[in-house]
Amino acid sequence: MQVRIFNMIYILSFILFNIFLCSEITTEQLQKIKEVTEDVNTASDFTLKTVQDDFPEIYTLSDMKDKVILINFWATWCGPCRLEIPDFNELYDKYHEKGFEILSISISDTKEQLVNFLKAYKIDYPLLYGSPSEIQKVVSNYGGVYSIPMSFLIGLDNQILRIYPGAILKQYDPNMFADLVYNIENSILELDKKKSSKVIDSLNIDK
């Protein structure tokens, strides 16, 4: 994310400098400005594997543009991260059938450590893992994630809607939890509207 913002600033600065010299904007420059500004709020893509057998083996974010997703960075050794699990289970069980997903990415645990953790904790949503270099790349693309837990709410077309630093706990921070629920429900409504629009468009085409 930081790299994308830096690139956007660099490209815009270069374009504006050329505009200053030429005193006009070309069609190509307008298109480039549109591309770099539209991309800045798009969540960085990744492909990671899941530990549990009950879920698909691989998750790729860009394949989930019609979902509302909570990306949660955590680790098994993190106390506040463990406290989030019951509330996340509740959210997942309530909204999953409506198009909501939770992708939980450990910043440091191996597959074996996650498997052992699941023997002690009930987790209803997928736990993702990868090689150290894969995880480091994902972490870097999401701003470094200097403290955990850290969560990103992703809406339609993989757009970043909200960033939640710290633990999202209904009991200890009801305002943050309520904000998350509000944004999940609003995003699901947008998802339903998009699905309805596609159905109407397909019916019009059939006519």
Q: What is the pLDDT of residue 11?
A: 45
Below-70 pLDDT ranges, the chain: 1-40, 198-207
Give the largest Cα separation in the chain, rounded: 66
Kindly report the backbone phi and psi dihedral angles of residue 181, in degrees, each rounded to the nearest multiple of 5, phi listed first: -60, -45
CA–CA separation, 15 and 203 (whole Å): 44
The whole-model pTM stands at 0.78
In a 10 Å sphere around its CB, with 0-12 CB exposed, 13-18 middle and 19+ buried, how is residue 109 labelled? Answer: buried
Q: What is the pLDDT of residue 195?
A: 78
Q: What is the pLDDT of residue 66?
A: 93
Q: What is the pLDDT of residue 14?
A: 46
Q: What is the pLDDT of residue 109?
A: 96
- 102 CB neighbour count, 10 Å cutoff: 20
Q: Does domain 47-201 have CATH number 3.40.30.10?
A: yes
Q: What is the pLDDT of residue 17?
A: 45
∠ CA 61-64-68, nearest 5°, is 105
- 41 CB neighbour count, 10 Å cutoff: 14
Give the 3-state secondary structure of residue 126: coil
Q: What is the pLDDT of residue 3?
A: 43
CA–CA separation, 115 and 89 (whole Å): 17
Tokens of 155: 């809406």
Q: Where are the domains of the chain?
A: 2-39, 47-201
